[in-house]
Amino acid sequence: MNYPYWVAVFLLMLGLYVMVAQRNLLKKLVGMNIFQTAIILFFLLLSVKRHATLPIVPGTVGDVRGFMNPLPHALMLTAIVVMVATTGVALAILIRLHTAYGSLEERVIAERLSAPPGPAAGPEAGR
Amino acid sequence: MSESLLAGLLFLLVVLAVIAVRAADLLLAAIALGGYGLVMALVWAALGAVDVAFTEAVVGAGATTVLFFAALLRTSRRRSPVANPLGWAAGAVVAATGATMLWVAAALPPWGDPTAAPAVHVSPRYLVATIAETGTPNAVTAVLADYRGYDTLVETVVIVTSGLACWLLLRRDPA
Amino acid sequence: MIERHDSVVVTTVLRLLIPVAQLFALYVLAHGHESPGGGFQAGVILGATYILLALGLGREALDRRVNEPVCLGIAVGGVLLYMLTGVAAMAGGGTFLDYSALPLPVSPVEGRFLGILFIETGVMFGVAATIVVLFCRLADRGGDA
């Protein structure tokens, strides 16, 4: 039964739906995080072998079918680090947006973006 | 790794993800996301991917949660539940994509099959040759740092660039 | 500004725990060859100890120890260490990042072992410094405490 793949696909679609349909920017980030970890789960599920142990080779390897596939692990380590990098930059952009427009709601920011510039100072007045 | 343990952890994962998504309070969403990251690390450890689980436990359940909290406390905490008129269209597209992915997943080799295609091309060479060529029993470190060294170099550049970008975006004004 | 925690238990335990955690990060880096571990895990643990310092012992405790431009310099230094290892391999006669050609008096297999250790150290510094900078910038109230 391939039910772990179904769980990974469900989490992927949940993250994608949140990224597209949520109005709050921070909730979109939560959805992006769920999406990224679900992709990593899907990839790691491809590296599992039944009755296999960790990919740490003690001395001589008898049968490679007794060890997990190490290549997806290495690629997914990269993916996790990129995950924290994108989350950090996205949060920095969110904070700047909030400072400039006063809200994290997509609709409010869009309205204030397209509003004609007022007589007051620009976005940097709040700092 | 027992099947029932893995099934229980996957169920807990789905519950936490749904809580993180449906919460109106953003602080609750961030906390649920931290819990989701921790259970995801447990799932990966149960599968046997210990290097990845180690990293996710510190990054997903630790650093990402703290960064979310820090950003939350600088901005607003609650969200106003604004109804999204495009929600049904997005839901239909996501459902169609999910159905396509499930259909493709049915064509994948059975889960855990040691003769599946990903397991028989280049990774047996890495497992067999890692001690003889690099002297490193940990095949994941050998693949990451030696056999795929270029990927790791550029990815380190990526994370340093993200730190630089965050520093430039949020510089303290010399007022 | 994050204040020092009120409870004496928390501050005392953290003062004992943070150095041990940093030593554990170095242990994870050094044992990346034999057990699960390596540069990324060690770097994130090291960065998390500095975040723990700020959360438990107050933001001033972190600001006294960490200068952000220097921290960014350390991050870039980690990437430079990685690249210099590759260039040293070229100087030893091999191609870029071919650690068996490092100009050290060791066998090619040991050369690859040492090359992996060097680059994992570079990765550790890069990741740890980046996480500290991310936290410092995101948890800052824009200068108005």
Residues of A in contact with C130 (CB under 8 A): 85, 88
- pLDDT tens, residue order, chain A (127 aa): 678 899 999 999 999 999 988 888 999 999 999 999 999 999 999 888 888 888 888 877 777 778 888 999 999 999 999 999 999 999 999 999 888 888 888 888 888 888 766 655 445 444 4
Of C42, C85, C76, nearest to B160 by C-alpha is C76
Tell whether B127 is within 8 A of chain A (Cβ): yes
Q: What is the number of other CB atoms lying within 10 angstroms of the CB of residue B87?
A: 14
pLDDT digits (tens, 9 = 90+) for B27-86: 999 999 999 999 999 999 998 899 999 999 999 988 999 999 988 888 877 776 666 667
Provide the pLDDT for residue B25.
87
Distance CA C124, CA C47 (A): 9
What is the span of the domain harbouring residue A43? 3-50+68-115
In this model, does residue C124 exceed pLDDT 80? yes
Does the distance separating the beta carbons of C40 and A88 come in below 8 Å? Answer: no
Contact C142 B172 (CB under 8 A): yes
Average pLDDT over residues C96-124: 90
**Does residue B136 contact residue C116 with C-beta atoms inside 8 Å?**
yes
* Mean pLDDT of the residues in chain B: 88
| C145 has pLDDT over 50 | no
Report which secondary-structure segment, H or E, holds B43. Answer: helix B26-47
Nearest to A39 by CA among A3, A6, A78, A12: A12
> Minimal CA–CA distance to C55: which of A89, B55, B70?
B70
Using the 8-state DSSP alphabet, how is residue C143 labeled? T
Contact indicator for C39, C46 with CB cutoff of 8 Å: no
If we measure between CA atoms, which residue out of A95, C140, A37 comes closest to residue B43? A37
Nearest CA in chain C to A88: C134
Residue A61 lies in a domain: no
How many other CB atoms are there within 10 angstroms of residue A110's CB atom?
11
Q: Where in chain B is the domain with CATH 1.20.120.1200?
A: 1-79
The subunits that touch chain B, with at least 3 C-beta pairs less than 8 Å apart, are: A, C
> A31 or C1, which is more confident?
A31
CATH for A13: 1.10.287.3510
In a domain, A125, yes or no: no
Instruction: Give a yes or no: residue A92 inside a domain.
Output: yes
Which of A48-61 are b and which e, b meaning 16 or more Cβ less than 10 Å from the residue's Cβ?
bbeebebbbbeeeb
Q: How far apart (Å, rounded) are the C-alpha atoms in residues C63 and C65?
A: 5
Say if residues C130 and B160 touch (Cβ distance below 8 Å). Answer: yes
Task: Please check whether residue B128 is in contact with residue A60, taking contact to mean a CB–CB distance below 8 angstroms.
Answer: no
Chain A environment of C131 (Cβ under 8 Å): 84
Stretch C107-128: mean pLDDT, rounded? 93
In a domain, A122, yes or no: no
Higher-confidence residue: A113 or C12?
C12
Let me know if residue C145 belongs to a domain: no
CA B147 – CA C137 distance, rounded (Å)? 35
C-alpha–C-alpha distance, residues C114 and B93, integer Å? 51
* Single-letter amino acid, residue C44: V
Q: State whether residue C106 is helix, strand or coil.
A: coil
- Strand, helix or coil at C50? helix
List, in sequence order, every residue forming a beta bridge with A96; answer none if it has no partner: none
Q: Does C113 contact B135 at a Cβ distance shorter than 8 Å?
A: yes
Distance from CA of A43 to the nearest CA of B (A): 10
Identify the residue with better confidence: A124 or C109: C109
The helix/strand/coil state of A54 is coil
Q: Which of A71-85, B107-121, B134-148 has the lowest average pLDDT?
A: B107-121
Which of chain B's residues have a Cβ under 8 Å away from the Cβ of A25? none
Cβ contacts below 8 Å, chain A against chain C, sum to 22
- In chain C, the number of structural domains is 1
Q: Which residue of C has its CA nearest to B167?
A: C137
How far from chain centre, in Å, is Cα A16?
Answer: 10
Percent of chain B exceeding pLDDT 70 equals 94
Place of tokens 């490679």: A64
Tally of domains in chain A? 1
- Looking at chain C, which subunits does it touch, using at least 3 CB pairs closer than 8 Å as the criterion? A, B
B1-79 fold: Four Helix Bundle (Hemerythrin (Met), subunit A) (1.20.120)
The verdict on residue A34 lying in a domain is yes
The answer on pLDDT for B160 being more than 90 is yes
Where in the sequence is the domain holding C39, given as residue range(s)? 8-138
Task: Look at residue C49 and tell me if it is in a domain.
Answer: yes
Q: Which two tokens stand for residue C117?
A: 């250790």
Pair of tokens at residue A102: 């006063």
- Interface pTM, i.e. ipTM: 0.89
Let me know if residue A56 belongs to a domain.
no
Is A80 close to C34, i.e. CB distance below 8 A? no
Q: Is residue C1 part of a domain?
A: no
Q: Which residues of C touch A53 (CB under 8 A)?
A: none
Residues of C in contact with A92 (CB under 8 A): 137-138
**DSSP-based three-state secondary structure for B41:** helix
Q: What is the chain C residue with the closest CA to B59?
A: C44
> Which residues 6+ apart lie within 8 Å of C104 measured at CB?
C92, C111, C114
Q: Which residue did the predictor score with more confidence, B111 or C118?
A: C118
pLDDT digits (tens, 9 = 90+) for C80-101: 999 999 999 999 888 888 888 8
